[in-house]
Chain A
Amino acid sequence: MTPAVDEAAVDLGVEIAGTTFPTPVMTASGCAAAGRELAPFLDVARIGAVVTKSVLLDPRSGRATPRMVETPSGMLNSIGLQGPGIDAFLATDLPWLVQRGARAVVSIAGGSLGEYAELGRRVGVAPGVAAIEVNISCPNVEDRGLVFACDPSQAARAVAAVRRGVPRDVPVLAKLSPDVTDIVAVADAVVEAGASGLSLVNTTLGLAIDPETLRPVLGGGTGGLSGPAIRPLALRCVWQVHAAMPTVPIIGVGGIRTGFDALEFLAAGASAVQVGTVTFHDPSAPARVGEELRGELAVRGFTSPGQVVGVAHRSAQAPIDRPVPQGATL
């Protein structure tokens, strides 16, 4: 094993599709609101980015309660994209993030191609947007309510609709659902449609039954399963997509709780990660995981997250690109 380097020698900065982030650890959409609520627990300017809760064109009440149930190492949610709508978001939430010096990755969600296009146009020109993440795990009202993310061509059309209205220098990330037979096919389609990178993955559908009523716990019946329970599933998706498309930037998301969990995703092929459900357990988690990752890198002799990206795909004998330890003789 390569000798450890000093933690101070690790530069956590990463570049994704031309945009730089001070650390590879971001919040995950739907798990940090628009950042402000986490300010008592972490400095939003010092984490990689704040990925905001998906915003729609209009205000949305969300679903009836109960919206959440705890499951082993995870939870199910059925929030229903509650939010203030794009006008209020651009007037209040985004300026707060920009003023605080945070990188704002704005998640958008629509029910039709027209809505995706309009959201892309409006967010794309808003000052201070580091990137747009397209949440395509939404029912398409023009296609019998089928979820965009579950069909490669519909997923591609949604991403293309956004991409057309967004300035070239603003990356458009597509957040994919793991609830598909072939995630590589969806990844391929959205990259072809103009996605600059991929966020892998959204929640996977789950169900919990109430012990007394023997009916679904959640008001919406099924819900999205998240948390460490889905980490191996998310990691597998990152692994498969990176193997097929090694040059496409991937942001890994799914159950990351510790610095080592983040390192796993980097090794599988992610350039950055998002910390989601674990933020409910530990509101400082997006900052803590970044610092823990620094330690995990240093102890293995790495000075940058980029040195680890995709190493899990190389044969066990292949050399890993580490810096030469100080004082070593060549």
Chain B
Amino acid sequence: MTAATAHGPLQVTGRVLSVDRVGDYHHLTLVASGVAERTRPGAFVALAVGGPQSAMLLRRSFSVYRARRSGVYGGTVEVVLAVHGKGTEWLAGLRPQDEVDVVGPLGRPFALPQEPVPCVLVGGGYGSAPLFGLAERLRARGCGVHLVLGAATERRLFGVLEARRAAQSVEVTTDDGSLGVRGPVTAVLPAVLGRTCAAVVYACGPMAMLRAVAHLAEERGVWSQCAVEESMACGVGVCMTCVLPVRGEDGVVRMVRSCTEGPVFRGDRVLWDDVGTVPEGTLGAPRSGGHR
């Protein structure tokens, strides 16, 4: 194997170590030889669902919650999932020793600051999962780490207890007020940004939250790094389904794949208001009388 591919993704047969219920989510731990060693915070894995004869052909992609290089059973990767349909239902129903085809790590991870600056990490729902590994890396660089976790309800928060160990400060919000401040993360974020003098905001969660966080960061001249959760078919860059409009350094807007060019984007590069459309002026966008 060449040095170039040693950092690329692998396809391995993973073995389930455990599946635990955590609030409304499932926490899946897989022994996946070699994948953990290559994983950096923000990267994701694409899991095949339904077994070798499955009628569900599309992979399900999940941010890596934790990657442990070696344990008793070898390197493990952990993901947190919500049951949305038959594929995630299958994953949630796995038992220890079951096999899962794993492709990963995939995607561009979070970019880390060169200087030991204060950072605010914002997680929406189980979007908080990749932030704990990130917090560890940031602390190792001497960065201050402050967490903001938000969700619809207390049961849809992930990692509140762990957050208290991982960060210097933690703010919690829920839409229904079942824990912490009632409202979205943006109800507390301006104050947190001000109090911490944050230089970078990291965020992972639903598109509406990312959009709000990116706008807030932009208003205050703070860098933002947003991990999107676009729907993907393959996760490896060949299906072209997970695109969103992003402005490049050359100023040109392109429909880019969130699997290969993301899932982490600079918040000021994504055209958040136009996600789900092809905005006018995008490279190769339909012109009147042109292609349909």
Contacts and interface: CB of A to CB of B under 8 A. Distances in A.
Nearest to A40: B8
Nearest to A278: B57
Contacts of A70: 56-58, 87, 233
Contact of A38 (B5, B54, B238): B238
Contacts of B276: 64-66, 219
Contact of A62 (B8, B56, B233, B243): B243
A281 B58 contact: yes
Contacts of A219: 276
B283 interface: yes
B201 interface: no
Contact of A280 (B231, B239, B277, B282): B239
A53 B274 CA distance: 26
B170 interface: no
B57 A67 contact: no
B236 A85 contact: no
A209 B238 CA distance: 25
A301 interface: no
Contacts of A17: none
Contacts of A279: 234, 238
Contacts of B254: 61
Interface string B33-53: 000000000000000100000
Interface in B33-83: 48, 54-59
Interface stretch (B24-32, B126-134, B182-190, B284-292): B284-292
Contacts of A145: 292
B112 interface: no
Contacts of A228: 55, 57
B236 A82 contact: no
Nearest to A42: B11
Nearest to B260: A37
The binding surface of chain B is classed by DSSP as loop
Contact of A41 (B11, B58, B230, B284): B11
B255 interface: yes
Interface stretch (A72-80, A93-101, A236-244, A320-328): A72-80
Nearest to B8: A40
Contacts of B283: 59, 61
Nearest to A73: B55
A144 B76 CA distance: 56
A227 interface: yes
A82 B8 CA distance: 25
A62 B278 contact: yes
A30 B237 CA distance: 11
B243 A280 contact: no
Nearest to B234: A280
Nearest to A70: B58
Contact of B238 (A61, A65, A67, A280): A280
Given A38-B236, A82-B255, A283-B238, A72 B55 contact: yes
A91 to B, nearest CB: 16
B11 A61 contact: no
Interface in A209-227: 219, 227
Contact of A65 (B55, B236, B241, B291): B241
A100 to B, nearest CB: 12
Given A37-B260, A280-B233, A280-B234, A61 B58 contact: no
12 contacts: A41-B103, A61-B283, A61-B286, A62-B278, A63-B278, A65-B231, A70-B57, A77-B241, A111-B291, A228-B57, A280-B58, A283-B238
